[in-house]
């Protein structure tokens, strides 16, 4: 029994031991789990309380910082200053950020939907920040290899960050990104309470940067697709919305493939959010970008740069760049565009010639050494005020910023001749003054050296010939070089240089060894070997249609207003123009100015500029002067009507290489000039330039260049009829230095007028040459052997049967338009020989 009892106790002990061994691990595990859970809960509560305390303290700290920002200034943008032409049309901008504000109702709904789908799907629901969006962005970061396709910041947070430049402010306060995020959230909450969701969208879309220099939705819409924001399609809106993630890296202009990739992502987001269907998303994803860039222009020309510099000088750079000023100029947009386009076309045409050997603009590459390609400039000035209507300072501003008009000066060639002859006419000479047109020793002239004879390039053709003694009128009209040098030598260099000063043209360079008190100049200055600027020359030419008077200086700025239209600054020239008190410089007498004008009109009819007349049309009432330099390296051309003056230059900025062999300004500059003047007709048609009271019309014999008499008839070489060989010249009243013509015999009566019985009479008779035997009987003295002058063949027609009658005229002067006197002579009754018909 004892053994059994002992065994039983032993078994019971083993059983209890087993039970204890199996129960013990189970109880310890669950105890541990329970303890961990309890610890987590306790720590979570503690952590939550601590986090809440920390968050509240941090939020309180950063919300106080957020309270410092003035919400009324949330839409303060850097507003560009706008440049307007004389008609109020925008022609350029001055800015740091290229932006143009538009209200939300003028933005396509597709653009708004694309923005919300891509940047902030719960935009209209959250209080300014999206906690779910933050969690979603964190999840994408963890599951997408550190890349989030949707940002954690809401649209409102982004607006807060950009509007108040929080990144820069945080750096200045030594705050990290964590602190900045708190400020963003606090500020976004304030913004949401202060403004509606639509206002936030409007502020955002007008502020955000869309790459390629485009700030705001309008700049981006025009810059990428050439249309206003209201006209954006879903496809285009998705392309623009994709840029917010990486504005420059996804630009459709620079990286179209990348933009298409992210555009398609935006389209899929729009489908997911229900803005478009999946089918439409797939269809639009297959389409190209459709780029059509028409950006808001900063001002890509020399005149815009000049305007910008001047305005900044007046008002300061910061104000001009950011205050939305309105800058009004004298420029005419249509004339400016026409001048720019016509100049480029002419230069391109010249470079395409087979005989053009210079560098071409197509050879230029950005950043490389200078290429001396063909350049040009054009300028249009209002004759009465000096206001600049068109200003093309060079061929391509981006390739070369050098302003030829304001900074350049080149030899002016034969464009100087009108001022030489004006000097002569103001110093006792006249258009009928005779000057020798014959070869001249270049040792005297000094044009391009001292050898040989001086060439004749002013006629603008290769068929020029010397004509012996000619009038000053013909010498200027035909661009005679040798004759003009002789005229200059008669006038003298001192009066010429003095007159140039009145015209506003710089003084020529003196000869080496001479002094300012006793200057010495070579005769070459008379034919334009010395340099001048476009501004100087164009302003000088305004004096010719202005009765010898010119504006003292040109100008292009009218006035500047602030954003609200309040006047800030007005140019003195603009005020003078409004009150018609523009100061004028008397450059020559009114008589001289009209005489020069009359001669330059002849230049269009039969002289150096005659090739331009067909392109100008029959109603052009102005005049033109060509300006070719002796080495064909510089071509100038100036012309005007009563309203405006236009100047054109073509050549190389450096060196003296010819544009091409025999490059005449009528060929190179002429098309530019005619294009500009034809464009100007609608606003500046001009009117007839009438002679001043200081001149009178005098009939001049074309052969002798003297006052015409009743004998001044010659036989027309084409129809072999007698014609009155005279023309009407404009001379100063009382000019008695011009004698009567003695070439056609000893005429006693001037201009075929006599006084008889108180009435003006035209003499009915002209010299008659017999055409057959007029003697009866023998001729013992051989009188008929030399009836016909030797070397001439007068094969005249028979006479008229009408009786000669004196025509009675009214007391007033006869018409000046027709210089041909037609006289019909009958067959004299006592003499039997035919008479020539006379026209």
- What are 574-632's pLDDT values in tens digits? 888 888 888 999 999 999 999 999 999 999 998 889 999 999 987 899 999 999 998 89
Question: Which whole-number Å values give the CA distances from 277 to 149, 181, 230, 234, 271, in the listed order?
Answer: 20, 35, 22, 12, 5
Read off the tokens for 756: 């008889």
Instruction: Identify the pLDDT of residue 839.
Output: 46
**Structure letter (DSSP) for residue 526:** G
Predicted confidence (pLDDT) at residue 214 exceeds the cutoff of 60: yes
Instruction: Identify the pLDDT of residue 315.
Output: 87
Rounded mean pLDDT, 416-437: 95
Instruction: Identify the pLDDT of residue 267.
Output: 96
Rounded mean pLDDT, 223-227: 93
pLDDT tens for 719-731 read 777 788 889 999 9
Instruction: Identify the pLDDT of residue 58.
Output: 61
Round to whole Å and give the CA distance between 631 and 609. 19
* Radius of gyration (C-alpha) of the chain in whole angstroms: 45
Instruction: Identify the pLDDT of residue 393.
Output: 95
By three-state DSSP, how is residue 125 classified? coil
Round to whole Å and give the CA distance between 217 and 206. 6
Within 10 Å of residue 249's Cβ, how many Cβ atoms?
13
Burial of 617 from C-beta contacts in 10 A (0-12 / 13-18 / 19+):
exposed
Instruction: Identify the pLDDT of residue 176.
Output: 66
H and E: helices and strands count for the chain: 26, 23
In contact, 643 and 621? CB cutoff 8 Å: no
DSSP 297-337: P---SHHHHHHHHHHHHHH-HHHHHHB--EEEES--HHHHH
Read off the tokens for 371: 């290429």
In contact, 729 and 735? CB cutoff 8 Å: no
Helix (H) or strand (E) holding 60: helix 2-67
Predicted confidence (pLDDT) at residue 4 exceeds the cutoff of 60: no
Any idea which of 63-67, 710-714, 805-809 has the lowest mean pLDDT? Answer: 805-809
pLDDT tens for 691-744 read 999 999 999 988 888 888 888 888 777 777 778 888 999 999 877 678 888 888
In contact, 539 and 551? CB cutoff 8 Å: yes
pTM above 0.85, yes or no: no
Predicted confidence (pLDDT) at residue 823 exceeds the cutoff of 60: no
pLDDT tens for 145-157 read 544 455 568 899 9
Round to whole Å and give the CA distance between 46 and 567. 66
SS in 3 state form for 533-586?
A: CHHHHHHHHCCCCCCCEEECCCECEEEEECCCCCEEEECHHHHHHHCCCCCEEE
Query: In 217-241, which positions are buried (b, 16+ CB within 10 angstroms) versus exposed (e)?
Result: bbbbbbbbbeeebeebbbbbbbbbb
Instruction: Identify the pLDDT of residue 792.
Output: 39
Rounded mean pLDDT, 806-811: 38
**Which of the four pLDDT bands, split at 50, 70 and 90, describes residue 779?**
low
Q: Is 766 or 402 the better-scoring residue by pLDDT? A: 402
Round to whole Å and give the CA distance between 107 and 94. 24
In contact, 82 and 203? CB cutoff 8 Å: no
In contact, 285 and 259? CB cutoff 8 Å: no
Dihedral Cα 575, 576, 580, 586, nearest 10 deg: -170
Q: Is 378 or 182 the better-scoring residue by pLDDT? A: 378
**Which of the four pLDDT bands, split at 50, 70 and 90, describes residue 18?**
low
Read off the tokens for 497: 């240089």
User: What beta strand segments (E) does 652-691 contain?
Assistant: none
Strands 81-84 and 326-329: parallel
pLDDT tens for 250-306 read 999 989 999 999 999 999 999 999 999 999 999 999 999 999 988 876 667 899 989
Round to whole Å and give the CA distance between 525 and 48. 95
By three-state DSSP, how is residue 823 classified? coil
**Which of the four pLDDT bands, split at 50, 70 and 90, describes residue 375?**
very high
Q: Is 794 or 128 the better-scoring residue by pLDDT? A: 128
Predicted confidence (pLDDT) at residue 754 exceeds the cutoff of 70: no
Any idea which of 175-189, 221-235, 316-330, 375-389 has the lowest mean pLDDT? Answer: 175-189
């Amino acid at each position: 029994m004892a053994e059994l009892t002992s065994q039983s106790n032993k078994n019971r002990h083993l059983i209890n031991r087993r039970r204890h061994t199996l129960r013990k691990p189970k109880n310890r595990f669950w105890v541990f789990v329970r303890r961990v859970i309890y610890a987590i809960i306790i720590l979570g509560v503690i952590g939550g309380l601590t986090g809440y305390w920390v968050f509240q303290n941090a939020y309180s700290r950063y919300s106080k910082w957020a309270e410092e920002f003035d919400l009324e200034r949330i839409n303060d943008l850097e507003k560009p200053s706008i440049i307007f032409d004389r008609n109020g049309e925008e022609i350029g901008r001055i800015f740091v950020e290229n932006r143009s504000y538009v209200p939300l109702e003028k933005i396509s709904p597709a653009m708004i939907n694309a923005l919300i789908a891509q940047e902030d799907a719960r935009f209209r629901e959250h209080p300014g920040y999206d906690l779910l969006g933050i969690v979603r962005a964190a999840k994408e970061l963890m599951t997408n290899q550190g890349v989030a396709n949707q940002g954690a910041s809401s649209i409102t947070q982004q607006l807060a960050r950009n509007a108040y430049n929080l990144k820069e402010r945080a750096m200045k306060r030594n705050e990290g990104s964590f602190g900045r995020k708190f400020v963003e959230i606090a500020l976004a909450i304030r913004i949401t309470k202060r403004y509606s969701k639509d206002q936030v969208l409007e502020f955002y879309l007008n502020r955000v940067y869309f790459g390629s220099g485009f700030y705001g939705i309008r700049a981006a819409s025009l810059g990428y697709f050439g249309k206003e924001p209201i006209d954006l399609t879903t496809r285009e809106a998705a392309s623009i919305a994709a840029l917010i993630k990486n504005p420059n890296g996804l630009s459709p202009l620079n990286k179209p493939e990348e933009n298409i990739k992210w555009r398609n992502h935006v389209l899929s987001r729009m489908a997911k959010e229900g803005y478009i269907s999946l089918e439409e998303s797939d269809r639009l994803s297959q389409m190209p970008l459709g780029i059509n860039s028409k950006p808001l222009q900063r001002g890509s020309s020399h005149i815009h740069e000049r305007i910008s510099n001047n305005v900044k000088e007046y008002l300061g750079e910061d104000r001009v760049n950011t205050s939305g000023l309105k800058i009004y100029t004298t420029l005419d947009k249509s004339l400016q565009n026409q001048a720019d386009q016509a100049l480029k076309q002419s230069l391109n045409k010249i470079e395409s010639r087979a005989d053009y050997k210079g560098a071409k603009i197509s050879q230029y590459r950005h950043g490389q050494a200078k290429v001396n390609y063909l350049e040009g400039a054009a300028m249009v000035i209002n004759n009465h005020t000096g206001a600049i209507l068109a200003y093309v300072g060079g061929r391509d501003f981006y390739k070369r910023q050098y302003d030829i008009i304001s900074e350049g000066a080149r030899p002016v060639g034969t464009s100087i001749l009108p001022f030489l002859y004006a000097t002569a006419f103001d110093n006792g000479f006249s258009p009928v003054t005779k000057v020798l047109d014959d070869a001249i020793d270049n040792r005297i002239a000094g044009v391009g050296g001292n050898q040989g004879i001086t060439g004749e390039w002013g006629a603008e053709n290769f068929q020029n010939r010397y004509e012996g003694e000619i009038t000053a009128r013909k010498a200027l009209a035909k661009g005679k070089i040798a004759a003009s040098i002789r005229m200059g030598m008669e006038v003298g260099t001192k009066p010429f240089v003095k007159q140039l000063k009145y015209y506003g043209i710089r003084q020529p360079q003196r000869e080496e060894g001479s002094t300012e008190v006793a200057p010495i100049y070579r005769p070459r200055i008379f034919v334009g070997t010395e340099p001048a600027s476009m501004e100087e020359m164009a302003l000088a030419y305004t004096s010719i249609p202005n009765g010898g008077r010119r504006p003292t200086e040109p100008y292009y700025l009218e006035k500047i207003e602030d954003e609200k239209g309040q006047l800030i600054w007005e140019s003195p020239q603009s005020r003078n123009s409004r009150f018609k008190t523009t100061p004028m410089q008397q450059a020559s007498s009114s008589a001289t100015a009209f005489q020069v004008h009359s001669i330059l009109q002849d230049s269009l009819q039969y002289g150096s500029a005659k090739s331009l007349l067909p392109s100008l049309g029959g109603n052009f009432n102005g005049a033109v002067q060509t300006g070719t330099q002796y080495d064909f390296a510089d071509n100038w051309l100036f012309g005007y009507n009563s309203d405006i003056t236009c100047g054109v230059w073509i050549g190389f900025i450096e060196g003296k290489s010819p544009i091409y062999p025999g490059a005449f300004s009528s060929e190179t500059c002429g098309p530019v000039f005619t294009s500009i003047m034809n464009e100007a007709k609608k606003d500046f048609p001009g009117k007839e330039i009438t002679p001043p009271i200081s001149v009178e019309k005098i009939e001049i014999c074309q052969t002798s260049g003297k006052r015409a008499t009743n004998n001044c008839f010659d036989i027309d070489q084409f129809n072999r009829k007698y014609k009155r060989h005279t023309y009407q010249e404009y001379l100063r009243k009382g000019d008695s230095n011009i004698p009567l013509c003695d070439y056609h015999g000893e005429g006693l009566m001037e201009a075929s007028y006599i006084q008889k019985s108180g009435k003006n009479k035209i003499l009915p008779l002209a010299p008659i040459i017999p055409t057959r035997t007029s003697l009866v009987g023998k001729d013992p003295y051989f009188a008929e052997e030399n009836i016909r002058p030797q070397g001439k063949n007068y094969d005249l027609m028979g006479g008229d049967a009408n009786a000669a009658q004196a025509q009675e005229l009214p007391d007033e002067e006869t018409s000046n338009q027709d210089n041909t006197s037609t006289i019909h002579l009958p067959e004299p009754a006592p003499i039997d020989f035919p008479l020539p018909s006379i026209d």
